[in-house]
Amino acid sequence: MKKALIQMHLAVLLWGFTGILGRVITLSAPVLVWYRMGLTALFIGIILSYRKLWQKLERKDVKKVVGIGLLYAIHWVAFYASIKLANASIALVCLSTASVFTAVLDPILNKKKINPLEIGLSLIAILGVYCIYVMYPAEDELKPDKKAMLDFPLGLALGILASVISAIFTVFNKPLAGKYEPRLLVFYEMMIGFIFLTIVAPLYIYQNPAEPLIPFNWDIIWIFCLVYFCTVLGQSLAMTALKDLSTFTVTFSVNLEPVYGIILAFIFFDEQEQLSAGFYIGMGLIALSVLLQVSLLIRNSRKQKVLV
């Protein structure tokens, strides 16, 4: 149990570094995601071949996997664009609303009864985002040595878009996770996303002819760290830990990812100098909605056990 808990938190800490690496890598968001998805598929494909874990997908699940792969690509592009237009802290606090959106979207997409409490929790999270937006500091309020964000409103909007998309593919992935090896699903979804970005690449290059496409110097190392440590190793640690941890522990641990990421952003980039009181008020409201959602999840799971 102790070993599993350490593995889970180490995985979440590695995921927290994705925002930091997304900021230090100089490539644009679409190019960065193209490398991340392609190399992740390559690494996991090698693991699947070495461990002989290949499994054929049922025909009815192929369309779902393709759709999830496309959503993954759009999600990551929106997330990294949010980091580059705003900053890592803004992108991560927006991403922390994903679990609340998942609780709301799950009954809608699966045609179940909607829980009014979960709608209320989503409204609390949205209020938190609104506080971050309306209390954003003006450029003249920042310290002279701190630059304003490139486009804070667009960065915030893309962060929320990434969160909503994350909630959607989480709902669609849930029934597939019980049928297939998790790494197999990740391989197919990463490969689909990589192919999709490759198809749209000519249009992107045409519109951004001066955009660097090849990583140089430290970018090569940072992309490797993002792919291997934050994605492949992080996922492997999480899957190993899942066998011995409760649903509450896993859910609570995963929700710590934005917290770790924001702390790291404060340490490495002094991002707190770009943020106002509205950010902390909004983050507090979002954290409250997430904690209440986790409590609701625990209560519902206990009710189901009693009924059984």
One digit per residue, pLDDT tens: the chain, 308 residues? 678 888 888 988 998 899 999 999 999 999 999 999 999 999 999 999 999 989 889 988 999 999 999 999 999 999 999 999 988 999 998 888 887 888 788 888 877 777 788 788 888 888 988 888 887 766 555 555 556 677 888 999 999 999 999 888 888 887 887 788 888 999 999 999 999 999 999 999 999 998 899 998 899 999 999 999 999 998 888 877 766 776 556 666 777 888 889 889 989 988 888 787 888 998 898 888 888 877 776 776 666 554 44
Distance CA 301, CA 200 (A): 43
Quote the pLDDT of residue 123.
85
Quote the pLDDT of residue 308.
45
DSSP secondary structure string, the chain? -HHHHHHHHHHHHHHHHHHHHHHH--S-HHHHHHHHHHHHHHHHHHHHHHHT---PPPHHHHHHHHHHHHHHHHHHHHHHHHHHHS-HHHHHHHHTTHHHHHHHHHHHHTT-PPPHHHHHHHHHHHHHHHHHHHTPPPGGGS-TTSPPPS-HHHHHHHHHHHHHHHHHHHHHHHHHHTTS-HHHHHHHHHHHHHHHHHHHHHHHHHH-TT---S--THHHHHHHIIIIIIIIIHHHHHHHHHTTS-HHHHHHHHTTHHHHHHHHHHHHH-GGGG--HHHHHHHHHHHHHHHHHHHHHHHHHHHHHHH-
Quote the pLDDT of residue 196.
97
73: tokens are 């690509």
